[in-house]
Structure 1
Amino acid sequence: MPRASREQAHKNRTAIENASARLFREQGLNGVSVAQLMAAAGLTHGGFYGHFSSKDELAAVACAAAFGQSAERWAAQGNKYPDAHQTLQAIVSHYLRDPHRDQIGTGCPAVALAGDVIRETPDKPVHHAYTAGIEQMASSLATLLEKCGSPKPRRTALTTLATMVGALVLARATREAPISEDILAAARDLLLDPGVPDN
């Protein structure tokens, strides 16, 4: 395959992955067809199988890509704050805010894809991708907590992650009601240390 063709094929695959990562979060794994995914990527339906063997394979790849995007956002917070404590506070604060609640297509895949992954049969590759993503999030939090001096960073990371994800699920499900913001605020109050700027 000529170099130009390889480069275009790579660009096309990346476009499919990015479009799928967004649409799967917005509409669910079974809420969008291959034709819709390809159209969102600016490609024709017929080209799909040149990149992926099945929609199940794409779901796993898109899930991993979505978690990768989240990891990049968390890493960006680390670049803004030299102190691990400040980084952790910023991640929690930004995660539990209205904009993140409302940006389903670009927000946390742990929240957006959980219900769909639960309903998929255990043999589907998306289970592995989702679990790896959760492990990645927990590991990132544990690393920050260890730097902050937490005596049980892994356990505290899991508690923090479960609180964040659970709060965002409930806030999204109730976002037309006042309780939605109350849930986010309560979770922030629980997780953010007193006296630390909530920014």
Structure 2
Amino acid sequence: MRVTKAQAQENRTRIIETAATLFRERGYDGVSVAELMSIAGFTHGGFYNHFRSKADLVTESAALGFSRIAAGAGEIDLVEFVNRYVSRAHRDARGSGCTVAALCGDAARQSDDVKAMFKAGIEAFVTVLAGECGRTEDEEPGAARAKAINILAHSIGAMVLSRACPDASSLADEILDVSRTQILEALPKTVAAGSPQPRHDGHLAQIGGRSPRS
């Protein structure tokens, strides 16, 4: 049976979305093309109707994750972002969470194309956060960007360290709690005023997946 262009595109999207989830859960080397296609509901041979190589799929799945990061981060304020991102719920939802936190270590060992995709995605992430930081009149140009980079690096570092600990480890929670408190205390007072308590709704991790409001 001949596959229509619309169906082919739908199949391709399903493969990319399945790959994005599996890669976040297991890393780029933790899932084979054959397994990925089986989970997505297709045969192994069908992969090459859509992609030249696994590397191409890695790049496209990263692009999908980053497009959702920008959309998700842009829908919440800075305090809510920190509370959602640096949390146990995000830590435990690796497959549906942030692409950067899940895969930045893997990306460092990938091709220049993948690294370029991460660079562009991280740049977009920083831009969104910098827009939330703002800049006072007495600050130098670039101050908001510097704050955004610090917030992002601290948040991602906390997530990576926490996930490296056993799930039941008290240190895993301590890293998140201490880091979240320190990040929030360092926010501009106008931003941090009225900081809400962390939410553990199980879906907050969609900064890198579905919208956090979905």
Q: Confirm whether residue 170 of structure 1 aligns to residue 161 of structure 2.
A: yes
CA distance in 2, matches of 1:42, 1:5: 17
**How far is 1:126 from its partner?**
1.2
Deviation at 1:59? 0.3
> How do 1:1-199 and structure 2 match up within 5 A?
5-77=4-76, 87-121=77-111, 123=112, 125-146=113-134, 151=139, 152-174=143-165, 175-192=167-184, 193=192, 195-199=194-198
Question: 1:70 touches 1:107 (CA, 8 Å); kept in 2?
Answer: no
- Whole-angstrom distance in 1 between the partners of 2:84 and 2:108: 26
Q: Deviations over 1:163-191 (max 9, x none)?
A: 00000001111133101111111111112
TM-fit CA distance, 1:118: 1.4
- 1:92-118 superposed Cα distances (whole Å, 9 cap, x missing partner): 100011110001111111111112111
TM-score normalised according to structure 2 size: 0.80
Q: Kindly indicate whether structure 1 or structure 2 has the higher relative contact order, using CA contacts under 8 Å at least 6 residues apart.
A: 2
Which SS does the other structure have where 1:119 is aligned? coil
> Which 5+ residue runs of structure 1 have no aligned equivalent?
78-86
Aligned to 2:203: none
- The percent of aligned pairs where both chains have the same amino acid is 39
Q: Which is further off, 186-195 or 136-145? A: 186-195
Q: CA deviation at 1:37?
A: 1.4
Counterpart secondary structure, 1:15? helix
Query: Paired residues, what number?
Result: 186
Q: Distance in 2 between matches of 1:71 and 1:18?
A: 17
Deviation (angstroms), 1:69: 2.5
Q: Secondary structure at the match of 2:75?
A: helix
Query: What is the Cα-based RMSD across aligned positions, in Å?
Result: 2.0
**Does the 8 A contact of 2:74 with 2:128 survive in 1?**
no
Q: Secondary structure at the match of 1:171?
A: helix
> Counterparts of 2:117 and 2:20 in 1: how far apart (Å)?
12
Task: Specify the SS of the correspondent of 1:76.
Answer: coil
CA distance in 2, matches of 1:91, 1:56: 31
Equivalent position SS for 1:30: coil
Amino acid at match of 1:145: C
- The change in CA–CA distance for 1:183 and 1:50 in structure 2 (over 3 A counts) is same
Contact 1:138 1:157 in 2 (8 A): yes
The Cα shift of 1:76 comes to 3.4
Q: Distance in 2 between matches of 1:91 and 1:186?
A: 16
8 Å Cα contact 1:96-1:187 kept in structure 2 = yes
Give runs of ≥4 in structure 1 deviating > 6 Å: 147-150
- Structure 2 unpaired stretches of 5+: 185-191, 199-214
Contact 1:63–1:129 under 8 Å retained in 2: yes
Q: CA deviation at 1:70?
A: 2.5
